[in-house]
Amino acid sequence: MKSAAGPDPAPRWAAALEAARLLAADDAGRLGGVWLRGPAGALREAWLAALRQAHPPGRPWRKLPQGIDENRLLGGLDLGASLQAGRPIDASGLLAEADGGLLLIAMAERLPARTAGVLAGVLDEGLLRVEREGRSRLQALRLRLVALDESEGEDPPLAPALADRLALCVDLRGLPDGLLRLPTPPLPWAASEAAAPLATEAALEALCASAEALGVAGLRAPAMAWRTASLRARCAGREQVLAEDLIAATGLVLAPRASRRPLPEAEETAAVPPEDTPSAEPANPPPAPPEAPSEASPDGAVTEQSDPQPPPTSADAEPDAAAPAEPADPSPPPQALQDRLLEAAETLLPGGLLQGLRSPAGRLRQAGRGGGQGGLVLADRGRPLPPRPGRPVGGLRLALLDTLRAAAPWQRLRSGPAGPGPQPLRVRPEDLRVQRHAGRRPTLTVFAVDASGSAALHRLAEAKGAVEGLLAECYVRRDQVALLAFRGQGCELLLPPTRSLVRAKRCLAGMVGGGGTPLATGLQAARALAAAERRRGSSPFLVVLSDGRANVALDGQGGRPQAMAEALTVARACQADGLPALFIDTSAQIHPATLGLAQALGARYLPLPARGSAGLVALVQQARPA
């Protein structure tokens, strides 16, 4: 069942092109859009060109740039026009401009959760609600999104709230550019006038069961798959959904969201309690299926380690095959249908896909690289506070609308003798209002926990409790917590920065201890994580829990002197970075070497106090910079 070369990429490319055509044909915007994963490049350009070609001319085609502000996105008050006219005039936002057409989201993986939430709301309701800048508007909106998601490896992908609402997933990662030499199937493919097909019990059952078998969470995905199948049938001018429609929809909607392999390992997956695997949130997936490949080569080329290659069912999987197989077979028995859907899904599962959804932990070097990729990240400007009277000096921005509001009541008093024509607006210095932001940067507490040796197990439990306790008690401050554990020869990011207690609990449940003490590796990992997070705009604070007895060097070799020297070097580097730190000594008695280490780190040093996580929480809270 193994294949050195990996599965044939041609069906995946064909499915990608089909997604483009379906999206273009989805006039009603019922599919939400396409979640397009993959790096910028020739293949993505070709896909977008295909979409452009199928896109009806005259319909909007807009781009949502990174860092767009909410005024521009949603609309509000057009200040220039309002001032000129002497009455408020609406500015239409980008969303309204894209009505009926397509909106491309650049670097969708960086889309702030709020913006993603706004978009998700618009897709859900088909309505744009504007309640801002003095304007209140409700507008029907038919929107189709193309989220260009360039995340790779351990980078967090597109916000799940939005990803969940984009029916079609296209994954170009790992596909060779050589596919461009294949002949492109004819385009475009317009929706016909055929009536929407009636859902049959068998079809819905097959889709729901397949979603379950693939470990796809929620009910939106199977519902979306049905819509996709139904649209595909209509595009072909049919009023009946055939098996081939369902197969294609499974490949486009369900397979890319899979969190487990459905077919051959039935016994193994059965061993995993199904209740634990519903999260399709790729950033933080359920425990990986044991057979998931663990590595993909960095350039995205897929290395198939243990990719169960299904029997080549190319007729089914090739969505563009001009339906030679099923002449009129709308409802085969559900079980058979489901099996065929799953087979098709299996063919389309890209080799590296499950790896993308894999392991909650993630390797640290990748996390570091991911955070640093892209360089500058927009600094957090803080939450906005109500505007206050004042002059816009020293970096303060004028709150124009509020200034106008302040000036407006006085216009009659201030106006000169009534002349013909509109009166100029009279704004006095006391009317000026400035925008204020609460500028506190979010704090990230990074726990680097020594998980070596059997004695550490107990400490590990305390660290876990402390992480959860901190989250539970301090999220008033909207702080984040991350947890690294080092032991044996490496360091693992057990909990990526999060403020979700739910997620934290899930990640911490599987933490284990034992092995040597690669302290330098652990510190280095913490340092990289802190640097990456600082670039994202938060202030990291490091808490090290260790007995300070390094005995594994950076290269993974044993040897106390070398290991200690390296640990000291890395610790000094941390201090040079200006990383505030707390060193909690977990050993039974204070050792001068450990003290020296804490000093090199520039850390506050504390021998582990009364046992229990509560004490630890209190300690960290005291020590943490405000």
Partner 1 sequence: MGPTYPFVALVAQDEMKLAILIAAIDPAVGGVLVLGDRGTGKSTAVRGLAALLPPMDAVAGCPYGCDPARLGGACAACQAEAGPKPRRIKRPVPVVDLPLGATEDRVLGALDLERALSQGVKSFEPGLLARAHRGFLYIDEVNLLDDHLVDLLIDVAASGENVIEREGLSVRHPARFVLVGSGNPEEGELRPQLLDRFGLAVEVRTPRELPTRVEVIKRRDAFERDPAGFCAAWEPEAAKLRKRLLRARRQVGEVQVDEAALTRAAQLCLALGTDGLRGELTLIRAARALAALEGRAAVGDAELRRVAAPALRHRLRRDPLDDSDAGQRVERAVAEVFA
- In this chain, which of 35, 47, 189, 226 binds partner 1, going by CB under 8 A? 226
Site mask, partner 1, residues 303-322, x = CB under 8 A?
Answer: --------------------
CB of 549 to partner 1, least distance (A): 28
Q: What is the DSSP string of 283-303?
A: TSPSSPPTT------TTSPPP
CB of 473 to partner 1, least distance (A): 8
CB of 588 to partner 1, least distance (A): 24
Provide the total of helices (H) and of strands (E) in the chain, helices listed first.
23, 18
| Cα-based distances in Å from 58 to 103, 311, 624 | 14, 45, 57
Interaction between residue 501 and partner 1 (CB under 8 A): yes
- In this chain, which of 191, 199, 455, 573 binds partner 1, going by CB under 8 A? 199
Site mask, partner 1, residues 414-453, x = CB under 8 A?
Answer: -----------x------------x---------------
CB of 248 to partner 1, least distance (A): 18
Among the candidate windows 100-108, 198-206, 306-314, 349-357, which touches partner 1 by CB under 8 A? Answer: 198-206
- C-alpha 128/C-alpha 236 separation (Å) is 32
Instruction: Measure the CA dihedral 199/202/203/205, to 10°.
Output: 110
Among the candidate windows 32-40, 366-374, 403-411, 447-455, which touches partner 1 by CB under 8 A? Answer: 403-411
Query: Could you tell me which of 465, 177, 429 has the C-alpha nearest to residue 300?
Result: 177
Tokens at 279, concatenated: 């999260």
Q: What is the DSSP string of 527-579?
A: HHHHHHHHHTT-EEEEEEEE-----B-TTS-B-HHHHHHHHHHHHHHHHHTT-
Pairing relation of β-strands 397-398 and 168-171? unpaired
CB of 405 to partner 1, least distance (A): 5
Interaction between residue 299 and partner 1 (CB under 8 A): no
CB of 84 to partner 1, least distance (A): 11
CB of 121 to partner 1, least distance (A): 6
Alpha-carbon Rg for the chain in angstroms = 28
Is 434 within 8 Å of 406 (Cβ atoms)? no
Give the residue with the Cβ less far from partner 1, 386 or 417. 386
Give the residue with the Cβ less far from partner 1, 284 or 445. 284
Give the residue with the Cβ less far from partner 1, 198 or 576. 198
Of 59-98, binders to partner 1 (CB under 8 A) are 70, 73-74, 76-77, 82, 86-88
Give the residue with the Cβ less far from partner 1, 199 or 593. 199
Interaction between residue 404 and partner 1 (CB under 8 A): yes
CB of 63 to partner 1, least distance (A): 19
- C-alpha 591/C-alpha 455 separation (Å) is 17
Give the residue with the Cβ less far from partner 1, 43 or 68. 68
Interaction between residue 409 and partner 1 (CB under 8 A): yes
Of 239-298, binders to partner 1 (CB under 8 A) are 274-275, 278-279, 281, 284
- Residue 447 β-bridge partners: 483, 543
Residue with tokens 């520039």: 602
- C-alpha 199/C-alpha 209 separation (Å) is 15
Give the residue with the Cβ less far from partner 1, 209 or 570. 209
Tokens at 224, concatenated: 């979306």
Tokens at 116, concatenated: 């993603």
Indicate the SS3 state at residue 447. strand
Give the residue with the Cβ less far from partner 1, 307 or 402. 402
Q: What is the 3-state secondary structure (H, E, C) of 244-276?
A: HHHHHHHHHHHHHHCCCCCCCCHHHHHHCCHHH
Interaction between residue 500 and partner 1 (CB under 8 A): yes
Please state the length of the chain: 626
Among the candidate windows 35-43, 212-220, 287-295, 366-374, which touches partner 1 by CB under 8 A? Answer: 212-220
CB of 360 to partner 1, least distance (A): 13
- Residue 482 β-bridge partners: 446
Of 311-370, binders to partner 1 (CB under 8 A) are none
SS3 content of the chain, % helix, strand, coil (to 5): 40, 15, 45
- C-alpha 99/C-alpha 60 separation (Å) is 7
Interaction between residue 228 and partner 1 (CB under 8 A): no
Give the residue with the Cβ less far from partner 1, 55 or 257. 257
Of 126-185, binders to partner 1 (CB under 8 A) are 127, 129-136, 138, 140, 159-161, 164
Question: How many positions of this chain bind partner 1 (CB under 8 A)?
Answer: 90
Is 77 within 8 Å of 88 (Cβ atoms)? yes
CB of 431 to partner 1, least distance (A): 10
- C-alpha 592/C-alpha 576 separation (Å) is 22
- In this chain, which of 1, 2, 4, 201 binds partner 1, going by CB under 8 A? 201
DSSP class of residue 98 equals T
Helix (H) or strand (E) holding 398: strand 397-398
Of 465-494, binders to partner 1 (CB under 8 A) are 465, 468-469, 471-473, 475-476, 478
CB of 132 to partner 1, least distance (A): 4
Interaction between residue 8 and partner 1 (CB under 8 A): no
- C-alpha 195/C-alpha 241 separation (Å) is 11
User: Where are the strands (E) in 109-224, listed by range?
Assistant: 127-132, 135-140, 144-149, 168-171
Q: Which amino acid is at 369?
A: R
Of 12-31, binders to partner 1 (CB under 8 A) are 30
User: Backbone phi, then psi, for 543, in 5-degree steps?
Assistant: -120, 115
Interaction between residue 406 and partner 1 (CB under 8 A): yes
Interaction between residue 207 and partner 1 (CB under 8 A): yes
Give the residue with the Cβ less far from partner 1, 298 or 424. 424
- In this chain, which of 291, 398, 613, 615 binds partner 1, going by CB under 8 A? 613
Of 519-558, binders to partner 1 (CB under 8 A) are none
- In this chain, which of 81, 113, 315, 576 binds partner 1, going by CB under 8 A? 113
Of 583-612, binders to partner 1 (CB under 8 A) are none
Pairing relation of β-strands 90-92 and 397-398? unpaired
